Each structure stands twice: as structure tokens, then as C-alpha cells.
Amino acid sequence: MGETQDLKFLPLDDVHKAAGAKFGGFAGWNMPLTYPAGVMKEHLFTREHAGLFDISHMKLFVVSGIGAAAMLSKTCPIDAAALTLHQSKLSFFLNDEAGILDDLIVTRLGDDRFMVVCNAGNAEADEAHMRDVGRHFNVVIEPLDRVFLALQGPDAAAVLVDAGIGDSGLLFMTGVEPRENWFMSRSGYTGEDGFEIGLPEKDARDLVAKLTADERVMWIGLAARDSLRLEAGLCLHGSDIDPSTDPAMAALLWAIPKDLRETGTFIGADALRAKIAAGAREKRVGLKPEGRQPVRGGAPIVDENGANVGRVTSGGFGPSAGHPVAMGYVATALAKPGAGKLFAEVRGQRIPIEVSPLPFTPHRYVKG
């Protein structure tokens, strides 16, 4: 799993070692991949109780100043000034061609104060991009050093109440600063109800000790994080979306307000309008392979004549679904269930694969 010598270590590395984690490299970080329970049990436990994830590889930025909303509305296809206090929104940094540089979540914390949560692998580029655009706005961009934890699953809210944290009255896709130097949102990457909490290392060690003493909580590694998000139909940047894909073909236009698609001036707006007008040649879809054999990212998709009509971008086994699950891109005419016979090529064999609605397991967000 990559070179280990240049990897960055999580602040709670020792805690994961003590918990028996197996580590591997991901986005430049030495990450817990699995704990002794193993990916299958970790995955199922999260859907039944509450999984605890250390996602400190992800980067939090506070964007503040009287130009903060205007700057974010330039870098992202959102109207940051229209976000209500505490509202979170999934968005993107786009390039001039509307290619997706990163996906991120923006939360409004005050009139002129926003939290931006970015992916680990893009954090440096994201910061450079924000600083570059930020030169034209009255704005301060502050990267935070935080431990970032996610607690996901149906027991997450009750566990946090019993740990003395509570749910801060949060509903899905809202976020607050409940204590000094804390950021807490009701969101996640599993399709379950859950919370993400950024906090100083010392506070994190106290919180982790409380949470892991609760029998409804189990440490969950990156392997199950991936199978959980894939079942939930959520994209992984670098696999399912990247600068060669745009929000239209990635079936993510729902994250962009309709008026902004038409008249927005965010970076990439004109290119995105042109792409929407021309119609996407291929679209991101859920894919269900026939049988038991997982189909992984990178597998070509062909039609019954063997013509290449797409590709798998993420794939594996879905422990809750009970069958292999995947997502990828197929030609637009084939991008709906039953539109045509498709096959994924795996090691010289053709495995029948069908377009399937996403998510594979229903979302259970608490929307109030």
C-alpha cells in the first residue's frame, strides 16, 4: 500500500496502534485500514451501532472576512451569502473547464465566517487555489491543525449525548462551533446519521477515551469507510470524480443551485453551461455486477458487441448490500437501468453488470 517512509502520521497514531490497527498509505498519510474486527464486521457494526473514524488526514480551513462569502461564491458553485447560519453545503472547486479539482463541504459559522472541509490528497492544492483567488477579496484563509473524528451510525447521537457532547441541536448538513476550537457537523461519508468533529488533540484524546469505552462504538478503518461510502453512492475524489470529470457528467448538478447553473459567475461557470447545453456524453451511475465477484475501479465496460462504452471507477463488495457494488461512467444512452446489456472486463472475462440506482443502501440522515 504505497511507500511508508514519507507518510505523515495521524496525531492519534499511538491510539490506533494500541487498538491493533493495520496501517497503509493513503493520500500521503499512514492511515488505519482495518482494526482486529476486520472490514466486514467494522462495516456492519457502523450500520447497526456507531463507527468511530479518525479522518484527521482531511483538512479544515476557516475562511473569514468581509469578502469570505464572495470569495467562496467565486471558487465554488454556491451562493455562500445565501447559506443560512450553520448550514452546510456540498460543493466543488472547479477549474476553468468545469473539471472537478476537489469536492468539499462549506459550512456557514457566522456572517463572515465559513468552515471548508477538503480532501486530504488535495489539501495543499486547495489551499493554494483559495489563496490565489483570495488575493482579490478581503479574506483570511486559516488552515487548522485539528484531530478530525467521525462518529457514524444509528447510535451516534445517543452515544454523543451520553459522552456529554450532545448533538448540539444539529440536523443533517448543519454545523456549529460548540466549544473553543471545536467544529462539529451532522454529516458523514457512510449514508448513516452521524457527526464529524474537529477538535484539538488533547480534547480529542479525552473524547476518544470516552467514546471507545462505550460498547456501541468501534474503531473503523479506511477499508470499511470505502465500502460504506460506496454503498451510499458517495463519490471518492481521485476515483469517481477528478479534473477530467465535471458536475454534469458526474450526476452532481443537484449540488449546484439552478439559478447559478444558468447565471452564476463562479470559476468554471461558462464551461459548465456549455457542457450542460451540449449534453454529457457519459454519466456516472451505480453498477451492480452479476454474481459474487467484485469488479474494481479501472475495469472497462463494454456492450454485447464488445465496444467500449464506459469504465468502472470504484468497486468492491458491499457487506450490507450482500453483493458486489460499483460505480462508474457509461455512455449517456446506456446510463439508466435496463437501457442495454453491459459487461465489465475483469482478467479477460466479461462479467454482466447492470446500471443500478444509487444508493445501494438507503441513506438514514436525520433531517428533522
Partner 1 sequence: MAKVWYTEDHEWLSVENGIATVGITDYAQEQLGDIVFVEAPEVGKQVTKGDTAVVIESVKAASDVYAPVDGEIVEANDALTADPALVNSAATSNGWLWKMKLADESQLTGLLDEAGYLKHIG
Per-residue binder mask for partner 1 (CB under 8 A), 23-62, x = binder? ----------xx---xxxx-x-------------------
CA distances from 21 to 25, 133, 178, 206, 266 (A): 13, 40, 30, 20, 42
Can residue 319 be called a binding residue for partner 1 (CB under 8 A)? Answer: yes
* Least distance in angstroms from the C-beta of 292 to partner 1: 5
Can residue 352 be called a binding residue for partner 1 (CB under 8 A)? Answer: no
Q: Which stretch binds partner 1 (CB under 8 A): 75-83, 107-115, 185-193, 314-322?
A: 314-322
- 228 burial (CB, 10 Å; 0-12 / 13-18 / 19+) is buried
* Least distance in angstroms from the C-beta of 43 to partner 1: 8
* Least distance in angstroms from the C-beta of 91 to partner 1: 30
Residue number with CB closer to partner 1 (33 or 78) = 33
Q: Name which position in 317, 329, 343, 360 contacts partner 1 (CB under 8 A).
A: 317
Residues 137-156 touching partner 1, rule: CB under 8 A, are none
* Least distance in angstroms from the C-beta of 298 to partner 1: 11
Q: Which stretch binds partner 1 (CB under 8 A): 4-12, 187-195, 311-319, 326-334?
A: 311-319
* Least distance in angstroms from the C-beta of 327 to partner 1: 16
* Least distance in angstroms from the C-beta of 339 to partner 1: 27
* Least distance in angstroms from the C-beta of 361 to partner 1: 15
Residues 184-243 touching partner 1, rule: CB under 8 A, are 223-224, 227
Can residue 294 be called a binding residue for partner 1 (CB under 8 A)? Answer: yes
Q: Residue numbers of the site for partner 1 (CB under 8 A)?
A: 33-34, 38-41, 43, 223-224, 227, 292-294, 296, 316-317, 319, 324, 347
